[in-house]
């Protein structure tokens, strides 16, 4: 499979991966936000997602962009803005 070198496509992939992480780990995400340990609680899931993203995107594009990290915030965290937590 050819590596993705278009920024838009890479961004879409990052969001799609994060969307699936969010879908499968709803309770864990909410708990992580509530208890302010989101990145620790989701470490394995987020790193597996990052690994998939890295494996599909051209190295140069991966190095100079942070689409996956942005997708974590935009897709996973922003949609949980209603969760009560001291982190907001």
Binding site for another protein (CB under 8 A): 15, 17, 19-21, 23-25, 27, 44-45, 48-49, 51-52, 71, 74-75, 78-79, 81-82
CB of 21 to another protein, least distance (A): 6
Cα–Cα dist 49/59, whole Å: 16
Pick the closer one to another protein by CB: 33 or 45: 45
CB of 9 to another protein, least distance (A): 16
Pick the closer one to another protein by CB: 64 or 84: 84
CB of 46 to another protein, least distance (A): 9
Pick the closer one to another protein by CB: 61 or 70: 70
CA distances from 33 to 25, 73, 84, 87 (A): 12, 12, 8, 7
Rg of the chain, C-alpha, whole Å: 13
CB 80 within 8 A of CB 73: no
CB 71 within 8 A of CB 11: yes
């Amino acid at each position: 499979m050819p590596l993705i070198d278009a920024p838009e496509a890479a961004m879409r992939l990052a969001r799609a991966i994060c969307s699936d992480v969010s879908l499968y780990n709803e309770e864990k995400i909410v708990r992580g936000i509530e208890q302010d340990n989101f990145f620790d609680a989701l470490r394995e899931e987020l790193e597996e997602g990052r690994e998939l993203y890295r494996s599909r995107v051209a190295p140069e594009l991966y190095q100079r962009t942070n689409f996956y990290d942005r997708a974590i915030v935009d897709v996973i965290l922003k949609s949980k803005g209603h969760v009560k937590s001291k982190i907001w």
